[in-house]
Structures are given as C-alpha cells and as structure tokens.
Structure 1
Amino acid sequence: MGRITDAIKHLIIVNVIFFVAGIAGYGGILYKYLALWFPENQNFGIWQLVSHMFLHDFSGFLHILFNMYALWAFGSPLERIWGRNKFLFFYFSAGIGAALVHTAANYYFFTQGFTEVVNIPAVGASGAVYGVLVAFAFMYPNAQLMMIFLPIPIKAKYFVPLIIVGDLFFGFSNANTGIAHFAHIGGALIGFIMMWYWKRNQFNQNRWDS
C-alpha cells in the first residue's frame, strides 16, 4: 500500500470535509441537495450522480472509515501505476455507473409496488470503491486479502467476486440491510467492463498524463 497518492489524498480530504460538515449540523441540507434521490422525488438533481459519492452516513464513523480505508488501500497502488488522471476517470466512471444501476434497480422495485424507494436517498463512495476493488483484483490477482469477520487470507481474484456475490444475493432478495447493494454491483460492473476493455486494447497511459 505505502504512501498515499495525490488523487486519493484529495478525495479523502473532500469526503472528510463533507462528513465533518454533516456531523456539525449541516447534514440535513447536504442530504437534501447532494444525496442521490429517486428521480420521482422532488429533491432529485442530475448532479447527484456524482455528489452522492462525497456523502456518508452521519450517524457513525464506520461507513466513511471503511470506504476511505479501502480507497487508500486499493486505490493507491492503481494510481501509482496509472497516474492521477486515469485513476480519477476510472473512479468517477465507476461511481456514476453505480448510481445509474442503483437507480435502475429502484425503478424496477418501484414498479413492483415498493414505493418507499422514492424517499430513500443513497450516499457513499462504496460504488466507486467497488470498481477500484475490481481493478485491484485485475492488477494484483494473487494479493492476499482478508475479511474482518473471516480472518483467512484469500487471493484478490477470489475475494472480490465473493463479496460481489454477497451483494447480488442481498440485492435480489430485496433484504432490508440499509445498504445500496445494487450500487455496489453497478460500480463493480463498470469497473470490470473498463478493465476488460483497457486490458484488451492495451490502453495507452500516456494519453492521461500528457
């Protein structure tokens, strides 16, 4: 993992600033304008496809802590290889893809009578981070990783698909976990598509650093 890279550092700083503002009493207005709302909700704005990535649950520290730790641990090696511009393009593409898949899934559940999705906003960098996890598994497939609740080393090429399968299970079962599982799936899916495309076409990194 090593030293934190520039893009990762700035992303973490912005997330922490918004988190501090939220716990300082501005959480309501931040959620109203920057969280990702269902398009049928009056609070919805197209910019929320990006802005939701900088908000986290203000009721505790675990949400932002896990996301920022994963962003640093798995994103820093990628930024060192790709450079800042390519990493940021990947990160925001995965985050926006996560928001779109989450919204599409909510539309489906809405048509099935689960109208409560209209008033449940989504926040967090988790979708983008899942894309980063997929990219890490592509680049370092044999890296040994461990789950907190299962302290057994697992290679990244098995670890990442395992946690995505968990999201698929809870997402399609519509379990009330308080987690946007389809955002995770969307970020992972976009991350996979981009990595597959870049690897297949031997993407030219110089394009991003010029």
Structure 2
Amino acid sequence: MNYRPALNMPPVVKNLILANVVIFLITMVMQQTGTDLYQVLGLYFPASEKFRLHQVFTHMFMHGSIGHIFFNMFALYMFGRVLEGVWGPKRFLTFYLVTGLGAAALHTLVHFFEYQAVMSNIAPEQLAYFKDLAMQGKYIPNTPSEKLTMILNTPTVGASGAVFGILLGFGMLFPNTQLMLLFPPIPIKAKYFVIGYGALELYLGLSQPGSNVAHFAHLGGMLFGYFMIKYWNKNSNRFY
C-alpha cells in the first residue's frame, strides 16, 4: 500500500479538488449577480424543460453548501490519493468519472419510477396545468402536483456519487485497514465501514423518499465502483 505524504497530493485528486472549489466559488459569486448556475449545471430529470445533456457531467462539480463540498473533498483527499497511488492517474480518473456517471444513472432511474407513479395519479385534464406549475416552482399542497414539482424543478448536484465509489474502492482494496470514526470515536475496519454505510444509505433511500439527499446516487456510485473493480480484477493479471 503506497501512502503519500499528507500534503503531497497526486495530480488527479489535486486537480479534481481544485476544480470543485473553483466552480463552487464562481457559483457563489455569480449568485450575487443574480445568475443561478445551479439551474444551468445541476442535473435535472430528463422530463424537465430545464434538462440539458451536459448536466449529466457538470453536476458532479457543483455543491450546495460549504459543508457539502468540504466533506466531499475531504473524503476525496483521504481515500482518493491512496487509490490514485495504487492505480495511477488514468485508471483513477476513469473510476471517478464512471462512478459519478453511474450514480447519476441510478438516481435518474429511481426518479423515473417516482415520476411514473406521480403521473399515474394525475388526471389527463390536470396534467398540463400541474406541469406548468412545476416549471414555475409552484405546486398545490397535498396533491400529486407537489411531488411533480420536486421531481421536475429540483436539480441534483455534488460529487458524492463518485466519492462513495472511491470509498467503496478503498474498502475493497484495503478491507482490513483500520479507520477511526468521529461519532463515536472508535476504530473500525474499512470493509465494515463501507458495508454499514451502504446499508444505511439503502435504508434512508427507502424510508425517506423525497429527501433532499440523493441516497440512491450514493448507492449508484458504490454499485458501479464494485462492478468496475470486479471487471478489472477479472481482466487483469494483477490486483487493482
């Protein structure tokens, strides 16, 4: 296991953190001028009039708050630099992008089923009116209009899907490495931490539909990361 000095970040991790921080700062500055980059670069559900194909990629570099970007970049730094040291820049970047895109794919698929369920509860004569309300960010409380507005008018942002993929990758490559939790402050092996975190995300995703946290995007990053590592192991003479 090739650890690097704490401040000696490998190139892909360093540039990913830099890109995310710069874009976050630009987003905050642009908001002060009345320009909302979340509506341009965040990922909308494909049925929304605000959806654009580039959002599938750009949403991974957008963050909703200082806390959001801090924890994502901290995890990228802590675990990503180890994986890049093992895999090298090209393979690590491929893994990062594939898990991020996979997270978006699973998140969109879950939204599709939610969208279909909502649409089945809307009378045909109300559909155009509800959609128009949704694109204005409005809804009629306690009706399918409320859920429809959330699906069509809420962008998804963040590198969390790729970060969860990296966490999964670390747990698979170094399953017995001891990690120290913050709450409670106890040591735990990486494999148990990853399994527990994945189980928690699945529980929250199923028990809290409509949450402002994209739990299934996190699971998508882990799922695609798992299959990607399995594929690499099967088609390589050495373990990655």
Could you say whether these structures have the same fold, taking a TM-score greater than 0.5 normalized by the shorter chain as the test?
Answer: yes
Is 1:17 matched with 2:51? no
| 178-187 or 166-175, which deviates more | 166-175
**For the residues of structure 2 that align with 1:157 and 1:54, how far apart are their CA atoms?**
28
**For the residues of structure 2 that align with 1:175 and 1:37, how far apart are their CA atoms?**
17
| 169-178 or 193-202, which deviates more | 169-178
**For the residues of structure 1 that align with 2:80 and 2:54, how far apart are their CA atoms?**
24
**For the residues of structure 2 that align with 1:174 and 1:184, how far apart are their CA atoms?**
14
Secondary structure of 1:121's aligned partner: coil
Match for 2:18: what amino acid? I
Task: Please give the TM-score of this superposition, normalised by the length of structure 2.
Answer: 0.80
Name 2:106's counterpart in structure 1. Answer: 101
Name 1:144's counterpart in structure 2. Answer: 178
Name 1:31's counterpart in structure 2. Answer: 38
| 128-137 or 109-118, which deviates more | 109-118
Q: 1:148: how far off? A: 2.9
Secondary structure of 2:36's aligned partner: helix
Is 1:51 matched with 2:58? yes
Q: Sequence identity of aligned pairs in percent?
A: 42
Q: 1:204: how far off? A: 7.2
Moved over 6 A (4+): none
**For the residues of structure 2 that align with 1:178 and 1:152, how far apart are their CA atoms?**
29
Name 1:68's counterpart in structure 2. Answer: 73
Deviations, residues 18-73 of structure 1 (Å, cap 9, x unaligned) = 1111221348531111101011111111111111000000xx31100000000011
Is 1:124 matched with 2:158? yes
Name 1:208's counterpart in structure 2. Answer: none
Gaps of 5+ in 1: 206-210
Secondary structure of 2:208's aligned partner: coil
Query: What number of residue pairs does the alignment pair up?
Result: 203
* Structure 1 counterpart of 2:197, from 157, 160, 163: 163
**For the residues of structure 2 that align with 1:105 and 1:146, how far apart are their CA atoms?**
33
Deviations, residues 88-142 of structure 1 (Å, cap 9, x unaligned) = 0110000000001000000111122242211111100000011111111111111
Name 1:154's counterpart in structure 2. Answer: 188
Name 1:86's counterpart in structure 2. Answer: 91
Match for 2:77: what amino acid? W
Secondary structure of 1:151's aligned partner: coil
| 96-105 or 44-53, which deviates more | 44-53
Change (3 A) 1:118 1:186: same
**For the residues of structure 2 that align with 1:45 and 1:148, how far apart are their CA atoms?**
39
**For the residues of structure 1 that align with 2:168 and 2:13, how far apart are their CA atoms?**
17
Indicate conservation of the 8 Å contact 2:198/2:219, yes or no.
yes
| 169-178 or 93-102, which deviates more | 169-178
Q: 1:201: how far off? A: 2.2
Max radius of gyration: which structure? 2
* Structure 2 counterpart of 1:178, from 212, 231, 234: 212
Q: RMSD value over aligned CA atoms?
A: 1.7
